Amino acid sequence: MDLYSVKTYLKPSSLTEVTGWSADQRWLAGGTWLFNEVQPQVKSLVDMQQFDWTEIAVSAEGLSIGATCIQNELLAFSFPPEWTAAEALKDAVRELASFKLSHAATVGGNLCLALSASTFAPVMVALKAQYEIWRVEGEPYSVSAADFQTAPQKTVLQPGDVLRKIKIPRESLEQWQTRFKRMAVCTAGYAIAIVVTAYNPHSQQVRFGIGGSVLAPCLVEFDVLPTPEGIATALQEKTFLSDERGSAAYRQHITGVLMKRGIAALSADVQDERRY
């Protein structure tokens, strides 16, 4: 779509070249959402592609994903074989949209857009990722994935702030197994509930990254495998969305169903491994 209101296009090679920030400016990464609908409030685009923030880096600390990393790069990347939870990152790409979108859309763009149906947000929450935020003016800071989004299409980012990278600790990738569950009103429709279940078979701990059904992606943790009653109690403490796609009560129920399915799938996998 032609953004007729845009009067200025900036293409800096680094963040230090960006000075000041106005309400009518927008960061441009993949542009799959920005160019998807009319944006009359946008007068200036600041293109991030020259920042070279596309890296996927493996280190002793874990995984680092640059904000402008194209989503499909995660599918092609060779993660260490012992990083069992890295499959959740690939699930986030597969479950998001068509290959046309995932060949252009960025990981950071999906997180910063903060749609309730984001597939990446609950994965990052379940893996206890940290986000590194850079500012046009001021010092960088970090925020946990669980605290980044505050409501649909609202985050902690202030004007001019930009997501630099996502950091996932090695422990989350190496010691946990994951299952991605998503429910929509139709096969290719907008998700009404997303649950990413992470299970540590050694400690018996369980984490749930919940999205789609709640006001903002959230983390639910258990020290042992939860009972259905335990899941129901935990969900009573959350605020669920209600719109034309589903009531709050329906979304809460579906979220519980997906949590139970995630546990069942992971428990079955562990039992199969022990047989051989």
One of 3.40.640.10, 3.10.105.10, 3.10.450.50, 3.30.465.10 is the CATH number of 51-171, namely 3.30.465.10
**Amino acid, res. 52:** D
Helix axes 248-275, 228-235, angle to 10 degrees: 140
Longest CA span, the chain? 65
Strands 44-47 and 25-28: parallel
CB atoms within 10 A of CB 122: 32
Give CA–CA dist 246/65, Å, rounded: 33
pLDDT at 275: 45
Helix, strand, coil shares of the chain, percent, nearest 5, are 30, 25, 40
- Short-list 186, 192, 143, CA closest to 164: 143
Are domains 51-171 and 176-275 of this chain identical in fold? no
**Which CATH code is given to the segment(s) 176-275?**
3.30.390.50
Q: Going residue by residue through the chain, which has 276 residues, state the pLDDT in tens, using 9 for 90 and above.
A: 577 888 899 999 988 888 888 888 888 898 887 888 888 888 899 999 899 999 999 999 999 999 999 999 999 999 999 999 999 999 999 998 777 778 889 999 999 999 998 999 999 999 999 999 999 888 999 999 999 999 999 999 998 899 999 999 999 999 999 999 999 987 657 899 999 999 999 999 999 999 999 999 999 999 999 999 999 999 999 999 999 989 999 999 999 999 999 999 998 765 555 543
In our burial notation (b when 16+ CB lie closer than 10 A, e otherwise), range 5-42 reads ebeeeeeeeebeebeebeeebbbbbbbbbbeeeebeeb
The helix/strand/coil state of 222 is strand
- What is the residue extent of each domain of the chain? 8-49, 51-171, 176-275
Token readout for 47 is 């293109």
The helix/strand/coil state of 85 is helix
C-alpha atoms less than 13 angstroms from C-alpha of 63 in its C-beta half-sphere:
25
- The end-to-end CA distance of the chain, in Å, is 55
